[in-house]
């Protein structure tokens, strides 16, 4: 039970929000708990849900890589709710639990097979809330060797937004679905 109770699903009448919930349920991230809590702030719920789904499942960076980054962040945030969720789209693309664990805990290990670009992106997520001071000009120069500036903004905004929502869900005591 979260500190703030989610609204019952049938109490959500906004068709746009209901559509986004259905879209998220198909993706698997988030399930209906997050938007049913968010629905208590209806003016924020639609844009936040849209940003959450768009930043994760759309854009110009590989979705499987962003799924690993999302789980890495959720584990760092100690948010058991988002850390437990998995993208059906990423799974269909071939992402395995082993690959997720390798990406979270051993991405710098050459034997794990992450490309230089993927290592850089995972380092970005790893360091953002661990030691942002290391995300300095040399780091961004290295990022630019592998990613366009548009992709770097996509990754940075994705990291910032998902981590923020993960910390919010952690604060509510959200737990993985049964």
Q: Binding residues for another protein, per CB under 8 A?
A: 3-5, 37-38, 40-41, 44, 48, 78, 128-129, 132, 135-137, 140, 156-157, 159-168, 170-173
Q: Which is nearer to another protein, 13 or 132 (CB)?
A: 132
In the complex, least distance from residue 45 CB atom to another protein, rounded to whole angstroms: 9
Q: Which is nearer to another protein, 119 or 162 (CB)?
A: 162
Assess contact for 34 and 169: CB atoms under 8 A: yes
- Quickly count: other Cβ atoms within 10 Å of residue 57's Cβ: 19
Q: Which is nearer to another protein, 27 or 155 (CB)?
A: 155
In the complex, least distance from residue 99 CB atom to another protein, rounded to whole angstroms: 25
* Whole-Å CA distances, 55 to 113, 128, 161: 25, 17, 8
In the complex, least distance from residue 158 CB atom to another protein, rounded to whole angstroms: 10
In the complex, least distance from residue 100 CB atom to another protein, rounded to whole angstroms: 21
DSSP codes of every residue in 40-82: TSHHHHHHHHHHHHHHHHSSSS-HHHHHHHHHHHHHHTT-HHH
Q: Which is nearer to another protein, 58 or 134 (CB)?
A: 134
Location of structure tokens 């799924």: 67
**What is the C-alpha separation between 86 and 174, in angstroms, rounded?**
16
In the complex, least distance from residue 92 CB atom to another protein, rounded to whole angstroms: 28
Q: Which is nearer to another protein, 95 or 120 (CB)?
A: 120
Assess contact for 83 and 30: CB atoms under 8 A: no
């Amino acid at each position: 039970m979260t500190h703030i109770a989610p609204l019952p699903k049938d109490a959500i009448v906004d068709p746009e929000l209901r559509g986004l919930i259905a879209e998220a349920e198909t993706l698997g991230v988030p399930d209906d708990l997050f938007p049913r809590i968010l629905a208590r702030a209806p003016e924020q719920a639609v844009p936040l849900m849209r940003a959450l789904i768009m930043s994760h499942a759309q854009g110009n960076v590989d979705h499987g890589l962003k799924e690993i980054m999302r789980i890495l962040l959720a584990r760092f945030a100690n948010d058991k709710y988002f850390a437990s969720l998995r993208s059906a789209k990423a799974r269909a693309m071939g992402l395995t639990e082993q690959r997720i664990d390798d990406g979270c805990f051993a991405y710098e290990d050459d034997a794990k097979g992450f490309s230089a670009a993927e290592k850089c992106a995972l380092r970005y997520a790893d360091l953002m809330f661990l030691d942002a001071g290391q995300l300095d000009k040399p780091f961004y120069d290295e990022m630019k060797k592998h990613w366009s500036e548009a992709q770097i903004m996509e990754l940075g905004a994705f990291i910032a937004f998902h981590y923020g929502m993960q910390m919010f869900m952690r604060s509510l005591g959200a737990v993985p679905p049964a």
